[in-house]
Amino acid sequence: MENQEIKDQPTLPTLTKFETPMLPKKIGPYKIESLLKKGGMSFLYLGVDPKNASPIVIKVLSPRFIKSEEVTKRFLKEAEIIRISNHPNIIKLYGQGEWDHGLYIAMEFVQGISLKQFLLEKSLSVHKALEIILQVGYALCHLHTHGIIHRDLKPENILITENGQIKVIDFGIAALINEEKEEASTKKSFMGTPVYMSPEQKKDPKKVTFSSDIYSLAVITYELLLGKLSFGVLHLSLIPKKLRQILVKALQEDPNQRYRDIVDFITDLSEYLKSYTELEDTKNKENYDELYTSLINTDRLFLTKDMPTWKHLEIAAEYDTTISSFGLYIDFFQLSENIFACILAKSEKKDLESYIHTSIFRGYVKMAISEAKEKKEFSPSNILKNINMAISEDLMNQKFFVNLVVMNLDKDQIFYSNSFDSDAYFVDNTSQKCTNIAINNQILTKDIGISFIETTLNFKIGDEIILLTKKINEEKQSLIKKMIIDNMLFSSHNQAEKIITGFKNFIIKKENDTFASICIQRKA
């Protein structure tokens, strides 16, 4: 029986398409169609199996790691673990071997999306969420029976097909119990994803047990039940009482107090499902759901996920939030046929009242943009001045930080002004240089005497501007610039996501602040 909630979701694979002269024609016996993903130590290609012309995924070890004995050994071990793990809820191995540039693993191509992408698009009922978790649990049960610990279980490493089948993937840091005992004396190294890692894995990844995977699955369970990523912030009081007791046990800091066997976790979830009633959970969650729904609906006004599809611009935005955006506002405007604007703003205060103030501010922005379009005056400094004038006449006691970019494609120019204590970068495609953009305007407030300045940059095909809501630590500036340049061939969405995932731990932040990145690239 098909799962309608899942069937309604888009399930075409999320591919990052770009032209590259390095794309091989063949890897082993497989014809290569395109590059799917560039990882830290490997590349994923979409290939075709010559036996039946079916799609297949080829994982290739990056050439720069071929001479690394440790990395090569781990790559070969990943293939061996997938070979051992023959289960309907685990990715299948079709082959492995050597090719002209090193090693490869040929794996099953799954027509689906990651659980992370699914979470970002739609929430599931409690019943459907637990059905998914049970499938992952069955996969873990099979792995644990064969002495395998996944060690990196997270939504990105779980695929879901259009009919609701689950596939666990990525065994790059998986461990065999016997080998772990033999290698316990080797040097410690950080392995895994912090948000989903158990406390003992964070201390020493060589000393994980089966219960470490159970801890990771409990975090994923929490996220599926709430319908959004947790980013390491778990409020178990939001979970229905009977189900909460299961998660409390699975998330115990001491592994001896946690579920030691995934079978026990599966059993308790199954028993809960048997006695589950929608009415019971509705009563337990009623107050929370009302508040949560209000916050989500407000967030959608301020943080749109539907990016503009303007002909000569590729735009993407990614957010790292906890429960809410806390006064963050991002919007896009078409001022004329070839003139576009992007605004990134946030309120100074971070509380529920800031939602009301940001709604008022959003109205002032739209009013100023409308006036600019009518007068055909597209200077960012003038637009900011008009917004500030409206704020000065308002009764609310709130200040706003603003980033405003106007892109004039007729003149091949960007006009930029800001009062945001955050980083912004401009990438010159011709010189392949990434530079900081900084203007020290004052914060928007009730002071009617404020004047604003702006800067002008050439904006040619291939050039890019990147706006952040936070400042990256000074010692990481060269690293983020290098990452931006290295990923210029990828989509703007891919770059925005990499900035969030790669640098959210290196931002200068305050509590409740949201980290967001916007990437805008000029296209032909």
* Predicted confidence (pLDDT) per residue in 327-371, tens digit: 789 999 999 999 999 999 988 887 667 778 888 999 999 999 999
Q: Which residues, other chains included, contact 286 with Cβ-Cβ below 8 Å and sequence gap of 6+?
A: none
**DSSP conformation class of 90:** B
Smallest Cα–Cα separation from 109: which of 5, 16, 15, 10? 15
Residue 119, phi then psi, degrees to nearest 5? -60, -35
Residue type, 117: Q
Residue 230, Cβ density class (10 Å: 0-12 exposed, 13-18 middle, ≥19 buried): middle
Catalytic hit among 49, 152, 320, 331: 152
Lowest mean pLDDT among 158-172, 214-228, 256-270: 158-172
Q: What is the mean pLDDT of the chain?
A: 83
With a cut of 50, say whether residue 511 has pLDDT above it. Answer: no
Give the separation between CA 148 and CA 458, rounded to whole angstroms. 54
pLDDT confidence bin for 85, thresholds 50/70/90: confident
Q: 406 near 339, Cβ under 8 Å?
A: yes
402, 358 in Cβ contact below 8 A?
A: no
Beta-sheet strand order (sheet of 339-347): 328-336, 339-347, 400-408, 413-418, 455-458
Q: What is the C-alpha separation between 140 and 214, in angstroms, rounded?
A: 8
pLDDT at 437 over 60: yes
- The reply to whether 152 belongs to the active site is yes
pLDDT at residue 236 in the model: 84
Radius of gyration of the chain (CA): 25
Question: 346: closest CA among 367, 368, 324?
Answer: 324
Q: Could you give the residue ranges of the DSSP H alpha helices within 199-261? A: 199-203, 210-226, 241-250
> In the block, which residue shows the tokens 């400042």?
471
Domain span(s) for CATH 1.10.510.10 in the chain: 113-289
Q: Which CATH superfamily is 113-289 part of?
A: Transferase(Phosphotransferase) domain 1 (1.10.510.10)
Judged against a pLDDT cut of 70, whether residue 278 lies above it is answered with no
Residue range 222-251: mean pLDDT, rounded: 87
State the span(s) of the chain assigned CATH 3.30.200.20.
11-108
Judged against a pLDDT cut of 90, whether residue 229 lies above it is answered with: no
Give bridge partners of residue 425 from the DSSP assignment: 436, 466
Cα–Cα distance between 144 and 153 in angstroms, integer?
13
**pLDDT greater at residue 379 or residue 323:** 379
The whole model's pTM is what?
0.53
Is 439 within 8 Å of 380 (Cβ atoms)?
no
Q: What CA–CA distances, in Å, run from 469 to 180, 302, 433, 504, 516? A: 42, 14, 22, 11, 5
Which of the four CATH numbers 3.40.50.2300, 3.30.200.20, 3.90.1200.10, 3.30.110.30 does domain 11-108 have?
3.30.200.20
Q: How far apart are CA 346 and CA 420, in angstroms?
A: 9
- Fold entry, domain 302-522: Phosphatase 2c; domain 1 (3.60.40)
The neighbouring-strand residues paired with 148 are 176
Percent of the chain with pLDDT over 90: 41
pLDDT score recorded for residue 134: 96
Res 187 pLDDT > 60: no
